[in-house]
Chains A and B, each alone.
Chain A
Amino acid sequence: MSETSSTATIVVESLVARAGRTALARLSLSWTAGAHAVLGAREDGGPLLLATIAGRVLPRSGQVRIFGADSRHPRVRRQVAYVPLETSLPDALRVDEALSVAAALRAEPAQDAGGRLAVLGLEALARRPVRSLLASEARAVALAEALTSTQVRVLFIEEPFAVMDARAAGRMAERLRARAEGGAVIVVATASVGDAGDLAEDHLLLRRGAVVRRGASEDVLVGFWQDGSNARLRVVLKAAADGPALAAALARQPHVVAIERLGGAVCARGRDAAALARAAARAAVEAGIEVAELRFDPPSLDEARAGAPLQATSP
């Protein structure tokens, strides 16, 4: 996240926008090629930010520039794809016809629809009328169009794993990473810290339309909890009755900051994920307890918000 405005693909300066009860308050940021996440609830303004940058919502003031030009410039529009929760596809056409129209509008050579859809496992939808698609299928088709377009270099996705066809959801992360590595700018807006961590290299934490924290994933996650810990390890036990013994053993480990019992599992928090895993293994061996599963849990959005400073940060 060291890019300057002059090298960034997307530059937002003092952006003020409003849609309904959601507003963005003088946001300034920039993004270069790679996968980025805007973390926050819908009312915090993540989807509004993406819609405004994509040129779907008029900003009240401020500037949005993509590839150095206004985001509503025809040349820029062809290179930007926006997949909101309520995706709109050409309703009177079949899926393959819609993809052919998309190729013509983006001024790119037409490709085989089945091949384009296959990147997300959707080839069976090629001959289906768009009207017959479920919302999740329509969203997946829109995403496949964006991923396979030779013109699209900027892709905005609202809640990538919500209302998403199961076939597409399983392949999406890999495809998005490949596009990002190929030089595209991928920005997802999500309320899920886990989804953001799976898809993006850096996070921008929004609260009530303002940036409260920004940085590489691991940096932003540092200090998510009030006690300064940034990793939560869930130890699922084979026998729930072993919970108190494991909690006691964990309490003696040096890298464990906090412990919580949750039914048949014990959650331990600490500042270093690797040290926390070693501590849990040592505790289980010392207490002679059989462990069924070890799993790192991401913080919830509320925990992330609680741990973040409230003042806006500069990009």
Chain B
Amino acid sequence: MTTALARLPFGRLTGGVNAWITTGAWTTLAFSVAVMAHERGAAHGADIVLVDTVGALILPLLAYGLVGVVVGGRSLAASGLSLVAFGAMPSRAAAVTIAVAAAACAVTGALLAAGVAVLAHGSADPAPAGDALASAYVGALGGGAYACWFSLGATFGRRGGGRALFLVVDWMLGSTDGLALVTPRGNLRNLLGGAAPVHVSGRVSSVALILIAGACALLAARRCRT
């Protein structure tokens, strides 16, 4: 049942050019900035590019684009209507769509962050292999959390226009100190080595990202019950 439900969102992801263009464009930008930082000889090149470029700009926009592709440019509920017509439970169809989006964003985020950590590696950065592994973990966590965050956004509006609102909210609240703890942006920044919201540890931010992802996925699936 789950495999059958996943075929549609997976087909949207792999069958068209939109996902490849989105991923290719943002990856090229991230890697270009990483190479430039390395060429400049920045001592903390990987840290700087991961915090200021990947975490602040590229990962959110990449996840925003991929979620849009997975839901077919519609609202989350409408994206699964054709499966519901074949007898699927609407909330289950939505949950599987979110899972596909989260998996895609997590894998892309992990590869992107690991690649940037290697390409932008500076003299003061940790050893490349270990840094790439840690960055991949954070990239996966951030990508997955953003996918769930934007999936919840896609439950608002006839064509899922709430995604854009959630992007703005993440940017605004994620730039504050206290409320950043409830956004993917604030916790991702902390894990990538930037300023921590309300001075919480990296472990707390990891848990916060998992909680944000879980809560958003649950709420989004719940909002698609009918």
Contact = CB atoms under 8 A, between A and B. Distances in A.
Nearest to B92: A74
Interface residues of B, number: 22
Contacts of A104: 1, 3-4
A55 B86 CA distance: 12
A90 B72 CA distance: 10
Which one of B1, B4, B15, B72 has the highest number of Cβ atoms from chain A below 10 Å of its Cβ? B4
Interface stretch (B5-13, B20-28, B101-109, B142-150): B5-13
Contacts of A102: 86
Given A58-B226, A105-B1, A92 B8 contact: yes
User: A interface, by DSSP: helix, strand, loop or mixed?
Assistant: loop
A92 B97 CA distance: 13
Interface of A: 55-58, 72, 74, 77-82, 87-93, 97-98, 100-102, 104-107, 142, 145, 151
B15 A77 contact: no
Contacts of B82: 88-91, 98
Contact of A92 (B3, B11, B87, B88): B11
A91 B12 contact: yes
A90 B11 contact: yes
29 contacts: A55-B226, A56-B84, A57-B226, A72-B226, A74-B89, A77-B84, A77-B88, A80-B87, A88-B81, A88-B85, A89-B82, A89-B85, A90-B82, A90-B83, A91-B72, A91-B82, A92-B8, A92-B9, A92-B11, A93-B7, A93-B11, A98-B82, A100-B4, A101-B83, A104-B1, A105-B83, A105-B88, A106-B86, A151-B87
User: B interface, by DSSP: helix, strand, loop or mixed?
Assistant: helix
Contacts of B8: 90-93, 101
Contacts of B88: 77, 105
Nearest to B78: A88
B72 A101 contact: no
B83 A77 contact: no
Contacts of A93: 7-8, 11
A82 B81 CA distance: 11
Given A92-B15, A92-B16, A101 B85 contact: no
Contacts of A107: 1
Contact of A77 (B7, B11, B16, B89): B89
Nearest to B12: A92
A97 B85 contact: no
